[in-house]
Amino acid sequence: MFKQIKDLAGGEFYLITSLLIFMVFFLLVGLYLLKLNKNHINDMRQLPIADDQIPTPHEEI
């Protein structure tokens, strides 16, 4: 098990560093999301359906 990421003839450094870089980045984005303002999120979610689309005749009826 895990042979593919353990047995790399010295290449582990690249793999572990890469995973660490990602973990740090992921945690930063995660932290930001936890602190995100709810009103802002609601505003952003509404953006596509709030634009002034002209309806098709069918929708007007």
The footprint of other proteins (CB under 8 A) covers 4-5, 8-12, 14-15, 17-19, 21-22, 25-26, 29-30, 32-33, 35-37, 40-41, 43-49, 51-54, 56-58
Q: Is 55 left (phi over 0), alpha (psi -120 to 50) or beta?
A: beta
Distance between CA atoms of residues 6 and 32, nearest Å: 33
Instruction: Say which residues have a Cβ less than 8 Å from residue 8's Cβ, sequence separation at least 6.
Output: 15
